[in-house]
Chains A and B, each alone.
Chain A
Amino acid sequence: MRIMVIDDDSTFQFIFRKQIEKIDEIEIVNESRNGKDAVNFIKSLDDSSTEKPDLIVLDLNMPVMDGWDFLDEYGKLCANGKSPIPICILSSTINQADFDRANTYDSVKSFFSKPITSNQLKTMKKISEIY
């Protein structure tokens, strides 16, 4: 499974990489520091690309373009023909309003709060397989 991680926190990226290394068949194909970089990366892909992720792991609170703006931009890309990729939100927030808002996006398949456990990573894998 190929994963794309969008998060500005380099320490989190480091920890996440370490967690992924322990699970077979999961590979990080892109690490973006904000939504804007992520949109640019996705735009550059075509469907046959070997870098095309099976799952996007998205943080919410980021500079330049935050998770919400990314979801809006990504929605536009899909509307314009990009084949949709399931998204899991992974954030430090525990605000109910954020959970509710995330639910309004079709592309968001699941919402996890940091820190993430190995079992949750396995759930993510299953999600990518279902969609």
Chain B
Amino acid sequence: METTKELNTYPDRNPNPVMTIGENGELVYANYAASIMLKNFGRNGNEKISFPEGFDKCVSLAIESNEIQKETFGISDGHYSFNFCPREDGRVDLFGTNISEEVKNETYFSTISAFSTAILNADTEDEVAITITHEAIARLSYVDCVVYLADRQNGTLKQKAAHGPKNPKSILDSLKDPISLNFGAGIVGFAASEKRTVIVKDISQDGRYTLDNGQRKSEIAVPIMADDEVIGIIDSEHPEKDYFTQEDAKILESIASIASTRIQHTRALEETKHTEAKYKSFVENAFGGLYILRNDLFDYANDQFCEMVGYDLNELTVPNFDMQKLIVDADQKTTLALEARKRGDYSPKSYQLEVKTKQGHLRYLAINTSVLKDKKGYFTLGIALDITETIQSRHRLEEAVESLEKKTEELNEFAHLASHNLRAPVTNLIGLLDHYDRENPADSTNQIILEKFSQTVEQLNLTLEEMHQVLRVRAKESIEFNTVDLNELVEGIKLQLSEKIRTTQFSIQTNFEVNKVKYDKAHLENLFFNLISNSLKYGRQEVNPYIQIHCSEMNDHIRLVFKDNGLGIDLDKHGKHLFGMYKRFHDNPEGRGVGLYLVKRQLNALGGTISAESEPNLGTCFTVFLVNQKNLVK
């Protein structure tokens, strides 16, 4: 037979399937391998061969195009690649190759690849667990998958994710009521304690199966290992007996390996984050201000430091930030520390800085610096404490001490002056008594002595009165701010001094831009009385003596000017004693050397000042500034 002859030319023993399809689509020839394949496909010898779907189409295409067609088919339990080769006689030869192994490998790799991608996208170990269960159902066609992770603290395995009848709808939800297993308990526990994959073909025959509802027939448990430690288990059960194969074991072990890497990575990340958070919290809270300088410029500053100096981080870290703007005053220690740094002395330094904030406030910072090195080079780590309060308290204390020392000195001076001014009249009284002739009371010298005795007693009385006044001013007796009418004040003084004013033809000229002043009336009266009566006492008779008083308002002050054309004072000689106690500059018995002293004390007590300009024989001009009280009345 022609056909038989032809068939004889074909390698019947070829292990790959070889076939010829006739013009009408009938099977003309099939070698042994093809016969096995087709038989396995479920058809018998003489029956009309029913080819896999798509076979006919490839045959037709090969004939029509007269070109070889290539296609892969899943036939029975294998995968085959076929070349459809058209012949001149209208038939088609089919040469097949069994590629089941390649397909299986490809499936394995694509599954692993998909798993890897999904797992590597998981950011936490819980997400890794959830991803595994999800992907196992989707890609491996499992009906159930559970991932347990080892609790390192108490040595148990805790369900982290389950996908299957227990969580039928949820895909990415963590379990609400997770199962906790001990190592060694059940098949999962067994796999964990044995550190190897366990496949149970028939659960009903396995004593280790203690959990779940018994509807499962077979199970696989694969440990997730890290450094020879079990950190988790991938577990799957199936309602068919003997469902899981070594292929499943291989895939799940690969997945476990990827999962292990990812879990360790996420744990390391979490630990880093935790450490970072701890470090950040430490930096932000424990130290106060913290900054980093590189090449004398700010590289970093924490919130507290920014707050201390009033600049935000972006302003501090600009490359042209001017340090001189910030540092007001570098004390000697600071300067030495900064210079040492320039010489390459990298030892830790402590110093104090006076800085000016962006808002212009002065602050004192205690600075501790260390020089450290990282991959970008040397940098200075500075810790700053705001010690403004402490420094200010110290300044206040120093001021208080200074003020106290000054007061003590003044009191000593007062004591000496008081003693001198009391001693002088008392010794005079003793001296006068010594020369009093008791035998002849009517003696003319006795009359003089009595007269002088009387004058001295009067002087003594005045001295005591002055001392009382001085002490009263020092004690700052009740200050009361009243509205004082300057015109009335001057009129009152004119009345007191009327006799002397009349005899000397003294004139008082006033020019008050402000004539009502809120101030302590007694102080103001004393001021006016002393300056007017001084001008009166030390007037020059050869000119018409006068005093001109001018009052004006200047911002926060009231300015008073008392200008006379009197004797004047040589300020070069007496300037420093002008306002001293018991200092007299003219030989006038009325001058007691207390008036100006009291005036100045009273003014200073309320924040005011007094100064003088004078030319001997031309006159004197006193300028007074009073603190303008808020409720000043014009």
Contacts and interface: CB of A to CB of B under 8 A. Distances in A.
A78 interface: no
Contacts of B445: 18
B591 A63 contact: yes
B423 interface: yes
Interface string B562-601: 0000000000010000000010111110010100000000
A11 B432 contact: yes
Contacts of B456: 11
A15 B423 contact: no
B428 interface: yes
- Chain A, interface size category, equals 20 to 34
A12 interface: yes
Contacts, number: 64
A11 B428 contact: yes
B139 interface: no
A63 B587 contact: yes
Contacts of A8: 587
B420 A18 contact: no
Nearest to B413: A95
A63 to B, nearest CB: 4
B430 A115 contact: yes
B416 A93 contact: yes
A36 B455 CA distance: 25
B435 interface: yes
B590 to A, nearest CB: 11
A11 B428 CA distance: 7
Interface residues of B, number: 27
Interface in A16-44: 18-19, 33-34
A9 interface: yes
Contact of A92 (B424, B432, B435, B586): B424
B444 to A, nearest CB: 13
A69 B574 CA distance: 10
A127 to B, nearest CB: 21
B431 A115 contact: yes
B588 to A, nearest CB: 7
Given A11-B455, A12-B428, A18-B435, A69 B420 contact: no
Interface in B444-466: 445, 448, 452, 455-456
Nearest to B585: A63
B582 A61 contact: yes
Contacts of A93: 416, 420
B50 interface: no
B430 A63 contact: no
B213 interface: no
Contact of A15 (B416, B419, B435, B591): B435
Contacts of A15: 428, 431-432, 434-435
A11 B450 CA distance: 11
Given A15-B431, A15-B435, A61-B582, A9 B424 contact: yes
